[in-house]
Structure formats: structure tokens, C-alpha cells
DNA sequence: TAGGACTCTGAATCGGGGC
DNA sequence: CGCCCCGATTCAGAGTCCT
């Protein structure tokens, strides 16, 4: 059967290129297909400047039927290429994601989750006519309904999330700053995805050495993160310009060392809530005594959010580590308050705080 | 034509009951259709206790085709019942929402947003096999693609959100505690929606006095919130038990008083006041010099309400655009008068004029 | 150099009424 | 239906320049 070209970008139409690859040859697929935006006119900001919207040819379809037919064709090949334990991720917005999801179910993929990428910094709705479009949706699915042995690194993701089960809503900034690839001072690709998003996806649903296919490779975020995390990639892209920037980008990306690959922690988490903020808000009184889960250690809270324990003062993490004689400690889960005899972890109070500040 | 039965619950099949209602008779629809959950077996918690899932007969469909056909049928009636300015909300999870969204687009509804209801307290994934399913998805749509005059209280929602545009991700707790209706100590309805969710939806997309239809009425959250917010409701439900619960619930719900029901309206809805009227009324003298906010540009007022700037004359908007070299300009906020050294925008004078004409 | 003022930008189905 | 004009409308983050 056909050769599987690892760590390279195949130039051409994604369906044709996928057809040339052998059955059951990839461990994970990440697909960022055209969203089929139907933009009628130019959009101006309140200051009269023009929004640089997506006007690329690759996002033009005549109608829903044409888009559906395209979607079914590439999904058919994607399913054929997946190994039995493989999973697929597809990203989109309300313009296309319902059609993609329907096509996936019809094709026999088994949906595992829909994941919401919440943007910290979305583009506002300039006209005040709708809600700020502040998220995109990912669908995560196994090859078939009876396939239960898909790759999912449950514990790694729990560790990335302060020892809480990772939820289906992920807060990640859009791709800006140094990470955003530029060409002649302008954005090189209209829809470059943030590396943190691919980082989390690859950590969740693949293992080092796995083969990752991205049939809509674009600026190559999937390839760069695959290399960084010690996975192999196959990219498919038909635009020479995009291929060139992706090649250069991946060439300058470093693979993490073996040790880091075992313990990688996400840099970007849910909005940070300092412990002092709980004190400031009155959720925790100064002078309150904190306990570990078995009441073997105690410490008291000061007004600035530090703890005192015997003659030591420091953060909830530092004091937690100190009393255990451990090199490090997650103070949020280590320390508890006594609520009518029950021990409640600080982490629960933080959750309440986050909820209150958003509601 | 048929009678529209306000503030009542129609017993029977939702499609048959909708058929009996006249065209263009409701202002907003909220629909919480069966989710078509595909639970194979009973789910047990780690402590071996059984999760009380949805196993009602109303959630049983033989396959996707049967579910799609049901979905298309009720959406057809829903679209017929909507007034031209009306919008529809449909809630679901990944089991059904993609099929619903596709059917809505195929039917000609125009999607305005998808909204993510983020749960503060979702049920964990007990087996550690997937991400915590921590959200549900709502689709908000106008009746047709060319319909731009749908009801959306942009300013009211902005006010509810600390003066920031409301985003597409809403953090709301699931329905628990006193709010959760009980029957013989057990939850009375498997999928009772939180009142906060309906509150926000009704505040966003309806006005006092509007008619709200809920074709899957269940425990009546829509009816209760409609009554509380001074809207009318029509509920459709086929289960006598649910109807009884909902009736009692709504009977004990109080309408907010008129003052509380007031909400911030937008400038678009305010009566139009031409600039010339301010001159005519003497709020601005002819010959007055106008300044932009940084005093970089000036213009003088003429008797007919036009401005002069160098050799140009025109409306406050035209001259504002001209001096900036911009394609357009809002003269009301661009131009100011000098009141004892302070710059006051024309917009403020206009507000005074409107206030005076009301008194 | 630290901080403030100003500018720029991001997958966006983004207006209404009179003539 | 088309044209023209009125006039309503933005948040977070990064980058630049000046004090």
C-alpha cells in the first residue's frame, strides 16, 4: 500500500491527497475546514476604520448543498484514514458547525464531546445588533459508535487543570502578538489558530510518536505543536504561500525535551484569581484558620492574603509545601476552611468567586 | 382565524397544537425539544449509586431520520407562527443540536448567534473517559435571512453586564435547591431549566406585552418567567403531570412591578430630533462656534441648522466628516459647544430637548 | 525607565427610513 | 428597488511614541 510521508506537507486538494494515503494510518486528525461565512458588505468600526474580514476564495461556496457535499467528501476519507483508536477534532462556528456535526453523525462518527473555545479577546459586535461572538466550537469524535478504546489522557488534562477534571469550555486567547505570523506587515493567514489550542488538543488525544493529520494545514499550527510535543504530522495544503510560511515556522520550532514532555503544564488557564481577592471580597475573613484535609496542619490568614504558620509567612502554596516538607504544593487543594465542622477546600471558594464575578 | 389563547397551557401533541394557531401570532419562541440522548446502559457513579438520567418515552427516537423528521415538522410550524420581527431560541446538547441547527438553516431561519450556557456546577464525567460536559448550546435565529428588524434589547443586556457588550457565553448555575420542583421528594422534571436562563433570554429578545410560545413546556419555566417579566405565554405540553406542576408554579409566581420592568432602551428607538430644531428652540444661537473634542476643528451654526466651515456648508454630519477627511461622521457626538470653558457635546443638548418635550 | 496617550486589530453571516 | 442621508456603534491586548 501507499507510503505514509511523515512530518511533511502534501501540496494539493485535501480530498485527492487523502485518497492517496492508506487506510487506518493516522492516530488523530485535526481539521479546520472553511467556515462558509456569508459576508454581504464591508464592516466598519465605530471609528470608521474597516474590518479586515475573511474574503479568501477558499471560503466561497455557492450554497449549503455545495458545502455539505464538500464536507461529506473529506469526512469520508478522514474516517477511512483513522486507526481504530483514533479520534478526530473539527473546529467551526455557527455558520458551518451544525452542518459538520450532522454530517459526522450521519457518517457514523461517535461524538465524544463538543468543546467550546472561549476567547478572552474576541472582536466586538460593532453595530450592537447581536451578542459578541466570543467562542468557536470543536467537535471531538471517535471513528465509530462501538469504539471505546480511543486515546484520551484523562490524568494529564486533569493535572493541567489544577487537579480538576477538564471541562468542555476552554478559555484561550486568540492568536496575536509575536505568535501571529506576518507577511509584509500584514497577517499571513486570515484564520491562524492559537498554539495553546492545539497544545491542549494534542495533549488530550494523542501520545508521543503518534501520527497527526491536518487536511487544512494553513499556517501550520498543528505541525508546529506536533513537533514541539514529539508527535509526527502530515499536513495537506494547496496554497504555496501558506506552505512556505508553515515550513519555515516548523523548522524554527524546537521539540521539548523528554522530561518536559512528561510533565507539560498549560501556560494559559482560567482567569487567575489571587487568594488575596477572596480575602478582599470577604469570602474568607482575616484570622481564619486553615486546615489540611486531615487536620494535621494549620495556618492563619492575614489581610494581604498570605498565611502565617508558626514563624513562617508566605503564599498558600509556599506554606503548604513548608509544613509537608515538600518541594511544592497546590495550596488551593491542600488548604481547607472549617464550615460547621466540614472541611471545604479553598478551591471551591475560588470557583464561587469566579462564578460570582462572571454572572 | 383561530383564537390565540394567552397565558394558558394547551394540552396535546406540539405539532398538532401549533397547527391550530394562526400565522404570525407570536413574538418569540423558546423551544427545549427532546435531546435524543443515546444512553446505552444505566450510568453508575464511582460509589456504585445510580444516576437518574433521562429515560422518558419522549426522548426515544429510532434513528436520526426519525428525529430529523420530527424536528423539521415542528420547526415548520414555529416559523409560520413567528411574527416578522420575532426570533426563536432552541436549546440542546451535542446529541441533537447539530441536527436542529442544520434543519433551521435548511428551513430558511437566519442564525443570529449560538449561545453557550456554561454551567457553574455540571455533573462530572464519573468514568474519566471524556471532558466534563459543562455546557449546553442555544441557537438564536430570526424568521428569515432578509429580516433585520428583530427584537434585541442591546442596551438592556449591556447594562446587565456591567456596561460591557453581552457575550455569547453565559455562566449560569443549573437548576437546584428551592428552585428545583419536587414531587414525592424526587425531581418533578428531568430537564428543568434554570429561571436565570429564561430571564436573560426574555430580557434580550422580547418586550413587555409580547407573546412567548414554548412548544415543549415541561415544568413551565418559560411561563413563570414570562409572567414575572410582564410577557404573555402560550405553553404546549402533552403530559398531564407536567401541566399540573406548571400551572401551580405559575399561579404562585408574582409579576414584577412596573418600575422594575423598565429597561434601558437604545437611542435608535428614541424620537428623532433634527439639529435645526435645537436652533429653532433657541438651545443653540445662530453664529455659535462648535468644536470637536480636542478643539482641532471649528464650525459656525447658521439659522437653518447647517454649519459653515471655511467655504463649506452642510449638515453637522457632513461637515464633521469633511473636516476629518472621513467618509461619514456622527455630528451629534463629534461637535461640542463651549459652556464656560467646558466642551458639551450636541448629543447632550439633544437629550435635554427630548426630556423637555416629555415633561 | 516607568507610565500614559494613542493607535491598531481580530473567522463578522453587523442599519433604517425617506424619496 | 436604488440612492442618499441620518446617525448609532467596540473590547482586550499589543505595539509605538512621548514625557
Q: Does B49 have pLDDT greater than 80?
A: no
- Residue A355's SS3 state is helix
Q: What is the pLDDT of residue A178?
A: 92
Where residue B331 falls among pLDDT bands split at 50, 70, 90?
A: very high
| Cβ < 7 Å from strand C, A residues 135-154 | 136
- Strands B307-309 and B298-301 come out as antiparallel
- CB contact under 8 Å between B113 and A133, yes or no, is yes
Where residue B44 falls among pLDDT bands split at 50, 70, 90?
A: low
Residue closest to A249 by CA, chosen among A9, A11, A32: A9
Residue closest to A98 by CA, chosen among A80, A85, A114: A114
Q: What is the pLDDT of residue A195?
A: 93
The domain limits of chain A are 8-261, 275-357
CA/C1' separation B324–D17 (Å): 22
% of chain B residues with pLDDT over 90 = 70
- Strands A211-214 and A232-237 come out as parallel
The answer to whether B167 faces chain A, any CB pair under 8 Å, is yes
Which residues in A lie closer than 8 A to residue B171 (C-beta atoms)? 355, 358-359
Q: Considering only alpha carbons, which residue of chain B is nearest residue A124?
A: B165
Please count the residues of chain B. 359
Write out pLDDT tens, residues B70-106.
999 999 999 999 999 999 999 999 999 999 999 999 9
pTM, to two decimals:
0.85
Q: What is the pLDDT of residue A171?
A: 93
Strand D nucleotides, any atom under 7 Å from protein beta carbons: they are 5-15
Q: Kindly report the number of other CB atoms within 10 A of residue B27's CB atom.
A: 22
Write out pLDDT tens, residues B234-257.
999 999 999 999 999 999 999 988
- Residue B78's SS3 state is helix
SS3 string of B150-181?
A: CCCCHHHHHHHCCCCCCECEEEECCCCHHHCC
What is the C-alpha radius of gyration for chain B, rounded to an integer number of angstroms? Answer: 26
Determine whether the distance from the CB of A180 to the nearest atom of strand C is below 7 Å. Answer: yes
Task: Report the protein residue whose CA lies nearest the C1' of nucleotide D13.
Answer: A121
CA distance A167 to chain B (A): 4
Extended beta strands in chain B, E state: 8-11, 26-31, 82-92, 110-119, 135-142, 169-172, 182-183, 186-187, 211-214, 232-237, 289-291, 298-301, 307-309, 312-314, 336-339, 342-345
- CA distances in angstroms from B195 to A120, A207, B136, B245, B250, listed in the order given: 27, 43, 15, 15, 12
CA/C1' separation B146–D1 (Å): 15
Provide the grid cell at B260: 422594575
CA distance A337 to chain B (A): 20
- CB contact under 8 Å between A116 and B171, yes or no, is no
What is the C-alpha radius of gyration for chain A, rounded to an integer number of angstroms? Answer: 24
Which residue ranges of chain A lie beneath pLDDT 70? 1-2, 259-274, 276-277, 279-282, 286, 303-306, 311, 327, 353, 355-359
**Which of A35, A68, A94 to probe by mutation at the B interface, max B CB count within 10 Å?**
A94
- Strands B336-339 and B289-291 come out as antiparallel
Q: What is the pLDDT of residue B99?
A: 97
Q: Does domain B8-261 have CATH number 3.40.50.150?
A: yes
Cα angle, residue A142 at apex, residues A100 and A269 outer, rounded to 5°: 80
Residue B299 main-chain phi, psi, to 5 deg: -155, 160
**Which of B127, B135, B147 to probe by mutation at the A interface, max A CB count within 10 Å?**
B135
Least confident of A237-251, B214-228, B233-247, B311-325: B311-325
Q: Kindly report the number of other CB atoms within 10 A of residue A216's CB atom.
A: 21
CA/C1' separation A126–C12 (Å): 9
Provide the CB-side half-sphere exposure for B43 (13 A, CA).
17
User: Are residues A110 and A100 in contact, defined by beta-carbon separation less than 8 angstroms?
Assistant: no
Write out pLDDT tens, residues A239-262.
999 999 999 999 999 998 776 665
CA distance B226 to chain A (A): 21
Which residues in B lie closer than 8 A to residue A128 (C-beta atoms)? 154-155, 165, 266
Q: What is the pLDDT of residue B257?
A: 82
d(CA B137, CA B170) in angstroms, rounded, equals: 10
Residue closest to A157 by CA, chosen among A256, A232, A266, A257: A266
Across the range B209-216, mean pLDDT stands at: 98
- Chain A residues 105-124 with a CB less than 8 Å from chain B: 105-106, 111-116, 118, 122, 124
Nearest nt by C1' to A39 Cα: C13
Nearest nt by C1' to A175 Cα: C10
Which residues in B lie closer than 8 A to residue A112 (C-beta atoms)? 130
- Residue A248's SS3 state is helix
Residue A91 main-chain phi, psi, to 5 deg: -110, 145
DSSP 8-class letter at A177: G
- Residue B137's SS3 state is strand
Determine whether the distance from the CB of A54 to the nearest atom of strand C is below 7 Å. Answer: yes
Which among B104, B171, B328 is the nearest to A355, CB-wise?
A: B171
**Which of A63, A66, A114 to probe by mutation at the B interface, max B CB count within 10 Å?**
A114
For residues B48-78, b (16+ Cβ closer than 10 Å) or e, as one string?
eeeeeeeeeeebebeeeeebbebbbebbebb
Nearest nt by C1' to B167 Cα: D11
Where residue B163 falls among pLDDT bands split at 50, 70, 90?
A: confident
Q: Kindly report the number of other CB atoms within 10 A of residue A255's CB atom.
A: 14
Where residue B117 falls among pLDDT bands split at 50, 70, 90?
A: very high
What mean pLDDT is reported for chain B? 91
Across the range B140-163, mean pLDDT stands at: 91
Amino acid at each position: 500500500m501507499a507510503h505514509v510521508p511523515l512530518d511533511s506537507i502534501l501540496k494539493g486538494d485535501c480530498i485527492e491527497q487523502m485518497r492517496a494515503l492508506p487506510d487506518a494510518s493516522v492516530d488523530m486528525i485535526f481539521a479546520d475546514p472553511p467556515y462558509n461565512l456569508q459576508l454581504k458588505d464591508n464592516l466598519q468600526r465605530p471609528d470608521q476604520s474597516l474590518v479586515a474580514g475573511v474574503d479568501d476564495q477558499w471560503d466561497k461556496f455557492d450554497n449549503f448543498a455545495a458545502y455539505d457535499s464538500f464536507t461529506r467528501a473529506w469526512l469520508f476519507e478522514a474516517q477511512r484514514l483513522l486507526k481504530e483508536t483514533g479520534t478526530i477534532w473539527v473546529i467551526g462556528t455557527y455558520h458551518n458547525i451544525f452542518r459538520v456535526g450532522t454530517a459526522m453523525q450521519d457518517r457514523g462518527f461517535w461524538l465524544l464531546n463538543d468543546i467550546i473555545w472561549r476567547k478572552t479577546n474576541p472582536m466586538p459586535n460593532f453595530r450592537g445588533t447581536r451578542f459578541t461572538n466570543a467562542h468557536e466550537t470543536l467537535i471531538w469524535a471517535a471513528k465509530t459508535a462501538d469504539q471505546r478504546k480511543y486515546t484520551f489522557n484523562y490524568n494529564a488534562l486533569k493535572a493541567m487543570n489544577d487537579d480538576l477534571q477538564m471541562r468542555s469550555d476552554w478559555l484561550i486567547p486568540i492568536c496575536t502578538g509575536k505568535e501571529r505570523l506576518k507577511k509584509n506587515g500584514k497577517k499571513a493567514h486570515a484564520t491562524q489558530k492559537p498554539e495553546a489550542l492545539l497544545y491542549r488538543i494534542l495533549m488530550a488525544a494523542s501520545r508521543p510518536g503518534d501520527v497527526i493529520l491536518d487536511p487544512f494545514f494553513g499556517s501550520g499550527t498543528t505541525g508546529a505543536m506536533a513537533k514541539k510535543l514529539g508527535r509526527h504530522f502530515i499536513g495537506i495544503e494547496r496554497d504555496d504561500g501558506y506552505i512556505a510560511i508553515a515550513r519555515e515556522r516548523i523548522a524554527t520550532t524546537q521539540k521539548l525535551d523528554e522530561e518536559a514532555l512528561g510533565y507539560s503544564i498549560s501556560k494559559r488557564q482560567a482567569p487567575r484569581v489571587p487568594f488575596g481577592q477572596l480575602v478582599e471580597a470577604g469570602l474568607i475573613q482575616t484570622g481564619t484558620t486553615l486546615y489540611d484535609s486531615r487536620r494535621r496542619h494549620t495556618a492563619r490568614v492575614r489581610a494581604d492574603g498570605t498565611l502565617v504558620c508558626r514563624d513562617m509567612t508566605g503564599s498558600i502554596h509556599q506554606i503548604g509545601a513548608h509544613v509537608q516538607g515538600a518541594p511544592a504544593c497546590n495550596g488551593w487543594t491542600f488548604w481547607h476552611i472549617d464550615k460547621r465542622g466540614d472541611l471545604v477546600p479553598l478551591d471551591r471558594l475560588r470557583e464561587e468567586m469566579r462564578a460570582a464575578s462572571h454572572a
